[in-house]
């Protein structure tokens, strides 16, 4: 046998042993034997570098250092899941699904692993990229670190597709987490708080060798590709397992709601018997074609729901109520608590939301209170142990003036929150608006974080986001924790932000109720900031998905002389305040006034590209067929219920080629 063949055979054998040990938990050789074979392979590779393979089992130990994790776009968007906390909400979801889908339904029930979401990309059976969830559209490339996780296959086996993504969670099993904490305590260091945060933090360690030392695992649950060799979610789980992925076998196929309930009830009781943490169950429509017919909302798939188990509860003392001022002037009361452990973390603060919530709970300083984590994330006070209240307890009186600038608060009719109207002079509002402008989803200015913004405002260097573009290097270097290099990075980052596209700048302006999606709608419809500024209320509400509340907020923003002055300065500095020539060149009104539904698999463009073409040419994409639908663009394997509904309503069904001819 020649050397190359020996190396390849060893790699194949070690991959199989690795799969049996870390994925199946069924080792067939001892650790000593495995280590001996690994050492032999390592020696052969060192002596014969011409046979280098980046996916070799010897390269799992890490050693590469990543200073900055590159932000990259997901091939397929990572949507978040709608959450349900009651059987009634689950029933409502099923009712909505049945209204949109004809024919029988089955569900796949899977455990909701409590870890860090990850998307793995494979080409020709080899791992090429691992990306964190990020904002769902783009995330951080952590491939170097993920390669060290033993349960992530670097080379697949079987009849895998040529190119696909697979989604999952990086988790830290409880046994490994406890061992890590024992070692930290022995070394005199503070223990890690919980497995989820520790797993998430591990992915961003700069030294991959340190990641390799941690007992992380990767549990997979969702295949993504333009064409998949499966027809159902459950079949996808089985296939992924055959290709070498670690897919927990607890998932089940439920033929009806009763079987779904059996699964929920079982795991609500037995979840603590698992080797890792879960916080609920994910229920998915099993048939992939039905999933495609159901489609997505702006944030979540309509065909899936996360059923969250009842939150853990703790009891503690409310020591003091303080008040925070947000960037819009909204006042949020905060309960400062005697520290208490809850769901693996130490909770010291909880939001009280508004004056109505305080009055409803009759909550007071010194009260013994019940605290839960809403969705296992945000602590909230759910009740007061009134029987433990002392005789000298005093009812809470909501503040009347801003805690930061002492301006008299206002509360608009129909709104729950109080507001500080001093937008120009209230420091937290000034700082908050600029922090929003520089955030990742907006201008994403490298070298400028929230603390630096506060530093710049408090030193009188900036008072609004346009002031950023007047900053000079010699002004920022003397600031605390600011050296020449970091000052240069800041100035360069501000300069680079002038290239950020218009829709993100519009979001960054912080117009109330104008989030990412609304900013994109407005930018696409009006093309420039001048056109938006000139639009009146009746014009704005005609824009797709823009209601009266948003329209009033937009008009109010551009009525402000100060806002108009700031925008004029941004324009003067070269910030993108209109769609780029490239985007404008790709947009027409050929499909204006037409509503399209897209169904099936397409040859010449992907389904997402087809939807973009519709929107770029002035059309609207809908997820379901109705009397208002103008065309259904049908690909291979079009949903039968969609076809039947289109025919019954007389909606024209056109092919991919027909559509492409429409836009030419």
**Which residues are known to be catalytic?**
112
**CA dist 430 → 325, 360, 461, 498, 586 (Å):** 10, 32, 12, 21, 37
State the DSSP code for 408: B
E strands present in 495-615: 595-599
Q: Please give the structure tokens belonging to residue 648.
A: 């019954």
Helix (H) or strand (E) holding 16: helix 3-18
Please answer whether residues 443 and 497 qualify as being in contact, where contact means their C-beta atoms are separated by less than 8 angstroms. yes
Please answer whether residues 70 and 134 qualify as being in contact, where contact means their C-beta atoms are separated by less than 8 angstroms. no
For residues 47-58, one letter each, b for 16 or more C-beta atoms within 10 angstroms of the residue's C-beta and e for the rest, the string is eeeeeeeebbbb
Q: Are strands 368-374 and 378-384 parallel, antiparallel or unpaired?
A: antiparallel
**What end-to-end distance do the CA atoms of the chain give, in Å?**
59
Contacts of 631 (CB under 8 A, 6+ apart): 594, 595, 596, 597, 651, 652, 653, 654, 659
Please answer whether residues 634 and 651 qualify as being in contact, where contact means their C-beta atoms are separated by less than 8 angstroms. no
Using the structure block, give the residue that is written with the tokens 């920022």. 476
**CA dist 417 → 358, 409, 431 (Å):** 12, 10, 20
Q: Are strands 83-84 and 304-308 parallel, antiparallel or unpaired?
A: parallel
Using the structure block, give the residue that is written with the tokens 């005609």. 542
Bridge partners, 252 (sequence order): 109
E strands present in 56-142: 71-73, 83-84, 107-113, 116-123, 126-132, 138-140
Bridge partners, 253 (sequence order): 108
Helix (H) or strand (E) holding 268: helix 257-270
């Amino acid at each position: 046998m020649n050397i190359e063949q020996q190396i390849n055979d060893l790699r194949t054998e070690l991959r199989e042993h690795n799969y049996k040990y870390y994925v199946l938990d069924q080792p067939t050789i001892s650790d000593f034997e495995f280590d001996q074979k690994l050492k032999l392979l390592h020696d052969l590779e060192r002596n014969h570098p011409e046979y280098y393979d980046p996916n070799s089992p010897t390269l799992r130990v890490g050693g590469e250092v990543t200073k900055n994790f590159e932000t990259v776009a997901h091939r397929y968007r990572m949507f978040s899941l709608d959450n349900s906390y009651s059987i009634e909400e689950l029933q409502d979801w099923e009712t909505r699904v049945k209204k949109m889908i004809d024919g029988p339904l089955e569900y796949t029930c899977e455990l909701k692993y409590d870890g860090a979401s990850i998307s793995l990309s494979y080409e020709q059976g080899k791992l090429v990229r691992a990306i964190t969830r990020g904002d769902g559209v783009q995330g951080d490339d952590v491939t170097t670190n993920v390669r060290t996780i033993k349960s992530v296959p670097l080379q697949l086996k079987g009849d895998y597709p040529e190119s696909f993504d697979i989604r999952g969670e990086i988790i830290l099993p409880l046994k490994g987490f406890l061992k890590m904490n024992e070692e930290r305590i022995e070394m005199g260091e503070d223990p890690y708080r919980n497995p989820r945060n520790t797993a998430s933090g591990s992915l961003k360690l700069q030294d991959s060798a340190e990641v390799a030392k941690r007992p992380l695992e990767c549990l997979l649950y969702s295949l993504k590709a333009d064409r998949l060799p499966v027809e159902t979610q459950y079949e996808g789980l089985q296939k992924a397992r055959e290709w070498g992925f670690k897919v927990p076998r607890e998932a089940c196929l439920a033929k009806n709601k009763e079987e779904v309930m059996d699964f929920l009830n079982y795991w609500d009781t037995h979840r603590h018997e698992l080797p890792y943490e879960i916080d609920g169950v994910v229920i998915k429509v099993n048939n992939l074609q039905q999933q495609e017919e159901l489609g997505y909302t702006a944030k979540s798939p309509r065909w899936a729901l996360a059923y969250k188990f009842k939150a853990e509860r703790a009891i503690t003392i409310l020591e003091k109520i303080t008040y925070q001022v947000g960037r819009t002037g909204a006042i949020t009361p905060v309960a400062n608590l005697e520290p208490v452990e809850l769901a693996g973390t130490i909770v010291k603060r909880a939001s009280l939301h508004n004056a109505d919530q305080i009055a409803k709970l009759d909550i007071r300083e010194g009260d013994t209170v019940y605290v839960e984590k809403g969705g296992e994330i945000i602590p909230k006070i759910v009740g007061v142990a009134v029987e433990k209240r002392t005789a000298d307890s005093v009812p809470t009186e909501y503040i009347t003036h801003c805690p930061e600038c002492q301006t008299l608060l206002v509360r608009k009719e129909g709104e729950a929150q109080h507001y500080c109207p001093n937008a120009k002079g209230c420091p937290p509002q000034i700082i908050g608006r600029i922090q929003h402008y520089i955030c990742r989803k907006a201008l994403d200015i490298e070298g400028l974080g929230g603390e630096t913004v506060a530093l710049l405002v408090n030193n009188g260097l900036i008072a609004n986001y346009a002031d950023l573009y007047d900053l000079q290097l010699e002004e920022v270097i003397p600031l605390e924790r600011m050296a020449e290099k970091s000052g240069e990075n800041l100035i360069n980052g501000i300069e680079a932000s002038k290239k950020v596209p218009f829709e993100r700048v519009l979001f960054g302006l912080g117009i109330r109720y104008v989030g990412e999606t609304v900013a994109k709608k407005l930018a696409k419809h009006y093309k420039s900031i001048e056109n938006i500024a000139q639009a009146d209320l009746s014009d704005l509400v005609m824009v797709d998905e823009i209601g009266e509340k948003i329209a009033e907020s937009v008009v109010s923003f551009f009525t402000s002389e100060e806002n108009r002055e700031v925008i004029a300065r941004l324009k003067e500095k070269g910030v993108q305040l209109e769609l780029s020539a490239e985007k404008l060149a790709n947009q027409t009104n050929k499909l204006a006034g037409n509503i399209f539904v897209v169904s099936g698999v397409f040859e010449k463009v992907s389904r997402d590209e087809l939807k973009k073409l519709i929107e770029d040419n002035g059309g609207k994409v809908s997820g379901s067929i109705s009397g208002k639908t103008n065309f259904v663009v049908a690909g291979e394997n079009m949903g039968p219920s969609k076809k039947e509904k289109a025919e019954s309503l007389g909606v024209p069904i056109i092919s991919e080629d027909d559509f492409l001819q429409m836009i030419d």
